[in-house]
Amino acid sequence: MKPFLWSLLCCVLQLFSDVAHATYHLRAGDSELITAQSYAQTRHNGQPKLRTLNPTKTHSQCRSRPLDLVFIIDSSRSVRPAEFEKVRIFLANMVDTLDVGSDATRVAVVNYASTVKIEFLLKNHFNKLDLKKAIARIHPLATGTMTGLAIKTAMKEAFNEQSGARPRSRNISKVAIIVTDGRPQDQVEEVSAEARALGIEIYAVGVDRADMRSLQLMASLPLEDHVFYVETYGVIEKLTSKFRKTLCGLDPCAMGHDCEHICINSNASYYCKCRNSYVLNADKKTCSLKEVRAEVVEDPCKCEARLAFQKQTQAAIQQLTATLADISGRIGHLESMLGRA
């Protein structure tokens, strides 16, 4: 009798072990299942509400205001080929700091020595890649330093609407940045004053042997904000960060806004947009969920079925545990009776 009872007990224990092993694997998959459900729920509810940037972090919110920007660069004989390459790098780095585009900043380059050559106009290139390719094609003109003639040419031929400058009614700033390493061989005071009177803001960058008095006669006021000097062309790239701060405009969205979902920059202002499945309300700030027809969608991952099976399995295990305890008690009772017999 005893061998039979012990065989029965072993079978029951094996059954309990198999069920417990299956339950362990179900529980091991719980975290994966919960993660999948959480992800699905996040997608269903939409993305979390966007936050505005911290206004104190100016490096991440700073963008150049829309400009009509003309570089006027000295390529006279005193500028050696290696130095002129530094000028090209400076121009390319400047382009990288700007918001270039037909409705943003437009860029032109006027190259001068004893003659003046307009390398490209404000209307020619509206993306950074094309601008930098055009800059790479610029070559020195060799002799002379006719800075006054270069300013006059820029004023008459680069800053006009036919060449891509925007009309005054648009209130787009017009900026000229002059880079020179010498003393002008012509008059710059009167022509610079005429350009400034037309609303052109002039920055003068002097390198090495540049005449400081001439730089001051060309530049806009206040001079401490519009006149720069570097000892060599080798360090002219350091001016990029200074110009970035000077030409920088604050991002309206980053400075704080009342859009419920998404803020979009638009020139010096902004407008609001809504996330997918939402529509912009009449106040142009808040959003409402689109009305959609309710429809029954089958659970694609069968998550509810898996959870139901897990619950059923756990209930079965509890029942088996209770049954096993009862059987164990009965076996013990039988053993004690057989022992007495």
pLDDT digits (tens, 9 = 90+) for 299-335: 666 667 677 777 788 888 888 777 877 787 777 767 7
300-308's contacts with Cβ under 8 Å and 24+ in sequence apart are 301/36, 301/40, 303/33, 303/36, 303/37, 303/40, 306/33, 307/33
Are the C-beta atoms of 174 and 200 separated by less than 8 Å? yes
For tokens 């803001």, name the residue: 201
Mean pLDDT of the chain: 79
**Amino acid at site 126:** F
Nearest-angstrom CA–CA distance, 76 and 37: 69
Indicate the domain borders of the chain: 65-249, 252-289
**Residue 160 vs residues 64, 154, 156, 196, 212: alpha-carbon distances, Å:** 21, 9, 7, 14, 29
Range from 26-35, 270-279, 295-304 that averages highest in pLDDT: 270-279
| CA-wise closest residue to 219 among 200, 246, 233 | 200
pTM (2 d.p.): 0.58
pLDDT tens digits, one per residue of 113-167: 999 999 999 999 999 999 999 999 999 997 899 999 999 999 999 999 999 999 9
Residue 54 has a pLDDT of 32
Give the single-character DSSP code of 76: B
CATH for the 65-249 domain, from 3.40.1550.20, 3.20.20.60, 3.40.50.410, 3.40.50.970: 3.40.50.410
Secondary structure (DSSP) of 136-166: HT----BS---HHHHHHHIIIIISSGGGTPP
Q: Which amino acid is at 30?
A: D
Alpha helices (H) along 29-103? 30-45, 58-61, 81-97
pLDDT score, position 114: 94
Q: Report the SS3 class of residue 261.
A: coil
What kind of fold does domain 252-289 have according to CATH?
Laminin (2.10.25)
* Number of other residues whose CB lies within 10 A of the CB of residue 134: 18
